[in-house]
Amino acid sequence: SCIRSNSNRAAISHLHRQLYGRLYPVLLVNTDGSTVRLRYSEPKRILMMPLDSSTLPEAERKARLRRHFPSKPKAKEEEIFEGIDLDTYKKFWKK
């Protein structure tokens, strides 16, 4: 069986490939703040390199952890209404 591998084959059906040849212009931001323009396989505007937390001072490392993993909100106490005068709302009751 002879398989034609030319541009007409793609017009009949879809392209049979796992990765596509299109590369998108992307801005890569390094941890020191420098930027580099490169071509990337996914259409993104900015890629940021991960920050190495072992090089940070202890106070800044804890501050970053607090921002990423905030503490759980505390449960609020319910308000208890003890001194309600029921005679003021008597007009709204059905007779």
What pLDDT is recorded for position 25? 92
What pLDDT does residue 16 have?
62
Comparing CA positions, the residue from 21, 28, 20 lying closest to residue 44 is 28
Average pLDDT over residues 54-81: 85
- Please say if the pLDDT value at position 81 is more than 80: no
Q: Is 38 helix (H, G, I), strand (E, B) or coil?
A: strand
pLDDT of residue 9: 61
> For the chain, what is the mean pLDDT?
79
For the four alpha carbons of 33, 36, 41 and 43, in that order, the dihedral sign comes to positive
Range with the lowest mean pLDDT among 36-40, 67-71, 82-86? 82-86
pTM check: above 0.75? no
pLDDT tier, 59 (very low <50, low <70, confident <90, very high otherwise): very high
